[in-house]
Chains A and B, each alone.
Chain A
């Protein structure tokens, strides 16, 4: 049974414990950042930051909405990054059969600049980042080292708010549907982000773009996704 995350943005308070715990567990180097007029820092994912909590704020109908989006690799069921990268360098990206974790290997360093660019553009969520020195491509590893010791991923372990959840895929899907139904009255525009395609399922508090440009996949099959969401919301609508 593959594993999955449920990231419930309606519960996230942007404490950024996940972002910092990720960095600590993976021994990633903190960068010298600047205050640029937002609490979002580091400003984006980078080879030393597998996880960034994205901040967005809106005044909608006179009401302030402040959204937080703990961004990370979605561990796609069929990862486009793997298709592209392995087309050039076999074994650059592997998928762990037991957990479904999508993992970048040292072979990613052999990808040319253009090949990496193609790999990054293939990602529907703009996740892969490359270290300009070593050439290694990196991102969230699902804490595969911790999973092998029966420990939770570090971001899930550290989350005090119940925003980060992890478990068997079926359980997480069930939890996602339950939570979506629960939050609907307070978050009428809430939805699940691409639950059929990814193992990191977001419960989005509002329209996807209001949380993050790449909250849901851009591109090839928007109709399928819409169809899926329409199916999903139908029983709720008819009940209301």
Chain B
């Protein structure tokens, strides 16, 4: 690299120095240059110094590291005109000083387009231009508000289409859905992770210190809903959807408040999905409630919203 020779075991300074002949090794080219021979671990840097240009934009190039090459803003040449002058001189991301780029690390070092030797800034796109939308999506081209497939409302106030016309769904006897605004399941369930357990919890539930800190399936609900249902903090409750039911400990909290949706009170409850029957006494899987609905493009499950009901348990079998 330049006039410097890098030997076996040394870190090369940039992905440009990576070779396809086996002379270099790299797990991820984007992070090449994060550890260097000269500067060590750049992610550890906490230097807040900046020049006048960087100060205008609030850029801190000497603080930590950004991939690739410590470039802070991708496609940054899109912020300049054909002569390399910033479109907004008060907030210059990058600028051509006549001989070189100053400011952020240029995303492609070619001179400005007016020189005839330049290239369009969006270098990872075939045409080099920015895109508002592209081909290959099931829906679009522009974002649209759809209700979740299980929704507490019967009408989408933004359009005649209630839910996505192209959502993915598994069909089996068990995979049934509540109808919109189903009076039997009027409560909205959302699901999430907790810090102590990883994903479904199969590993972390078997780590005693983690299970001690977060031991059993819970359901967070507002004081308002708890009062309506006669549930006290710590009670065992049954949460039920059209697909199944689980027991959970009620966590009554000010952190959840009822919504007013289309003039009606809609209650929200929240549950983690890290518990399951393989760990005795911790409760069964929240997945027994959630629908096998996937988003049209990526099939990401729609576990952030489905319809349930909740009531106080009279008999406890799943929780110790």
Q: Which residues of A approach B to under 8 Å, CB–CB?
A: 14-16, 19-20, 23-24, 30-39, 41-42, 57-59, 64, 66
Q: How far is the CB of A26 from the nearest CB of chain B, in Å?
A: 11
Closest residue of chain A to B251 (Cβ to Cβ) is A37
Given the known interface contacts A37-B234, A41-B214, the answer about A66 and B255 at a Cβ–Cβ threshold of 8 Å is yes
C-alpha gap A118/B137 in the complex (Å): 71
- Asked if residues B254 and A58 are in contact (CB atoms below 8 Å), the reply is yes
Given the known interface contacts A57-B255, A64-B254, A64-B255, the answer about A39 and B234 at a Cβ–Cβ threshold of 8 Å is no
Closest residue of chain A to B196 (Cβ to Cβ) is A16
Q: How far is the CB of A101 from the nearest CB of chain B, in Å?
A: 24
Closest residue of chain B to A33 (Cβ to Cβ) is B215
Give the chain B neighbours of A39 by CB distance below 8 A.
214, 251
C-alpha gap A16/B196 in the complex (Å): 8
- Asked if residues B249 and A37 are in contact (CB atoms below 8 Å), the reply is yes
Q: How far is the CB of A34 from the nearest CB of chain B, in Å?
A: 6
Interface size range of chain B in the complex: 20 to 34
Give the chain B neighbours of A24 by CB distance below 8 A.
209
Give the chain A neighbours of B233 by CB distance below 8 A.
36-38
13 pairs from A and B in contact (CB 8 Å cutoff): A20-B213, A23-B209, A30-B211, A33-B215, A34-B320, A35-B216, A35-B251, A36-B234, A37-B234, A37-B235, A39-B251, A58-B254, A64-B254
Closest residue of chain B to A20 (Cβ to Cβ) is B209
Does any Cβ of A come within 8 Å of B74's Cβ? no
C-alpha gap A15/B218 in the complex (Å): 18
C-alpha gap A87/B233 in the complex (Å): 44
- Asked if residues A15 and B213 are in contact (CB atoms below 8 Å), the reply is no
**Contacts beyond the supplied A35-B214, A35-B217, A57-B253: 13 A-B pairs with Cβ under 8 Å:** A15-B195, A16-B195, A20-B213, A24-B209, A30-B212, A32-B215, A33-B215, A35-B249, A37-B218, A37-B251, A42-B212, A42-B213, A57-B254
C-alpha gap A58/B253 in the complex (Å): 9
Closest residue of chain B to A60 (Cβ to Cβ) is B254
- Asked if residues B195 and A41 are in contact (CB atoms below 8 Å), the reply is no
- Asked if residues B255 and A41 are in contact (CB atoms below 8 Å), the reply is no
Give the chain A neighbours of B215 by CB distance below 8 A.
32-35, 41
Interface string of B104-130 (1 = CB under 8 A from A): 000000000000000000000000000
Given the known interface contacts A30-B208, A35-B218, A36-B249, the answer about A41 and B213 at a Cβ–Cβ threshold of 8 Å is yes
Given the known interface contacts A37-B249, A37-B250, the answer about A19 and B255 at a Cβ–Cβ threshold of 8 Å is no
Interface string of B228-259 (1 = CB under 8 A from A): 00000111000000000000011111110000
- Contact among B212, B235, B253, B254 with A33 in the assembled complex (CB-CB below 8 Å): B212
- Asked if residues A59 and B254 are in contact (CB atoms below 8 Å), the reply is yes
- Asked if residues A19 and B254 are in contact (CB atoms below 8 Å), the reply is no
Given the known interface contacts A15-B195, A16-B195, A16-B196, the answer about A37 and B212 at a Cβ–Cβ threshold of 8 Å is no
Minimum-distance CB pairs A-B, first 10: A37-B234, A37-B233, A35-B216, A30-B208, A30-B212, A35-B249, A59-B254, A33-B215, A36-B234, A30-B209
